[in-house]
A and B are shown apart, each in its own frame.
Chain A
Amino acid sequence: MDQTQTSPHITPTTALLLALLYSSSVALQEHLYTPMLLPLLLLGWFQKESLLSIFKRLFFLNTLIAIVVLSMLWQKNYDLALLVFLRSNFILMFILMLFQGKDEFAIAIAMHRLRLPHKLTSIFFFTAKSIFLIKREFSLFKNTLHVRGFTPKTNILTYKTMAGFVGILFIKALERSVLLQKAMQLRGYCGEVYTLEEHQAFTKQDTLLALITILSLLWRQGALI
């Protein structure tokens, strides 16, 4: 459940803060500079073993970006097309590499560490737990259909089967919410979820990436566009 240990380089708290800093800075730029690539190169080095899967995911995430960029190229708006393409991909690559190997629980812990309101962090924890449980039911359902030789097609049987699955998920989710509420009452929930702080010790890589990211956003030389 806690995949922070499989990705020891960057703690989720730092990842969340740096993602916010880098994406909000780059997204608002009208010009991009070469130093903005530095955090991507550093993260690429940290995540060198997962680069192939990251690039595969990046390729699929480019669908809407490709539509937008192609429509701009069609209108001969080359500079804007290049700016949008680079800006989107810089941010996407940064986020994908930053959160590679992290899961919903890591984000919930980061929210808690950032001392955000207790209601918000509680929802993140309960959502993470529910995702974990529903994912398990999801794969069980898929296996059951596979064993029964079900092949999804464009027909009413498939739609009824899928709708039944959605219905089951909702029923189980709502029933689980009632159980969760009772469990919260029994455990004396007083608006806060507690975590083990040792998961969150900052690393040297945190500091290095934070410095490089801040430097890359301040260093305005070598315009790419």
Chain B
Amino acid sequence: MHLSEGLLRPEILIGGAVVSAFFTLYAFKTLKDEDIPKTAVLSALFFLASFIHVPIGPTSVHLVLGGIVGAMLGLRAFIAIFVALLLQGVLFGFGGLTTLGINLFNLATPTLIGYWLFMLPTHKRWQKDILWFLIGFIPLALSAFLLSLTLALNGDAFMDAAKIALVAHLPLMFIEGAMTLLALRFIEKVAPTLLYQKEQHVSRMAA
């Protein structure tokens, strides 16, 4: 999911950094002190998601959890993912400092769709299940698409790698969707107030 250091052209690195900086600075400007703890703990969860390996056939994939983090944070997900990516970049070498901007754009922008999906009112069980699956599926699918697009825009020499990267993410999209659905169902069962807070927010906004 992370683009490594040294792969991309300066135009893409700078472009990604500028767009991500705009969103992140705007998110910081609107961040209130009371939102800092929630942003920080969800940043920690995003950081640690790469340690949660889910078996798939003879191999395993790690979760991303961008959709669910986006669902809980909205635009503040940019800050949470920025912090997590910076820590992953310097401590583990996943991504890096020069690719931080483009990686942040590729991973954080699709999470806004997770937030939008989470905020949609649902009345029936099946509607909720489909939406919760999509909260995991769509942001990851979009992130994979953006990653491949970034590689494709980097030059003809990167086209094959772009195709391989997109295909390699296909099983992960379904795993992420299923895990998000099951995790949200678990939260609904064990701590429903955490999800109802959002529903109350929807009602308030509608009123």
Contacts and interface: CB of A to CB of B under 8 A. Distances in A.
A174 B91 contact: no
Interface stretch (B93-101, B118-126, B137-145): B93-101
B179 A127 contact: no
Interface stretch (B107-115, B158-166, B199-207): B158-166
Nearest to B28: A119
B3 interface: yes
B65 interface: yes
A72 to B, nearest CB: 5
10 contacts: A71-B158, A88-B5, A123-B83, A129-B40, A159-B179, A167-B187, A177-B38, A181-B34, A181-B36, A184-B33
A103 interface: yes
A225 interface: no
A130 B40 CA distance: 7
Given A127-B44, A153-B55, A163-B179, A65 B7 contact: yes
Given A99-B90, A130-B43, A159 B182 contact: yes
Interface string A185-200: 0000101000000000
Nearest to B33: A191
Nearest to A100: B91
Contacts of A175: 191
Contacts, number: 231
Given A23-B97, A126-B41, A103 B91 contact: yes
A119 B31 contact: yes
Nearest to B186: A167
B37 A126 contact: yes
Nearest to A161: B182
B174 to A, nearest CB: 11
7 A-B pairs closest in CB distance: A163-B182, A167-B186, A126-B40, A88-B6, A87-B6, A130-B44, A71-B160
A106 to B, nearest CB: 9
Contacts of A71: 157-161, 164
A131 B90 contact: no
Given A75-B157, A153-B55, A173-B44, A107 B90 contact: yes
B10 interface: yes
Interface in A87-107: 87-92, 95-96, 98-99, 102-104, 107
B72 interface: yes
B44 A64 contact: no
Given A61-B93, A71-B158, A23 B40 contact: no
Contact of B48 (A95, A102, A135, A191): A135
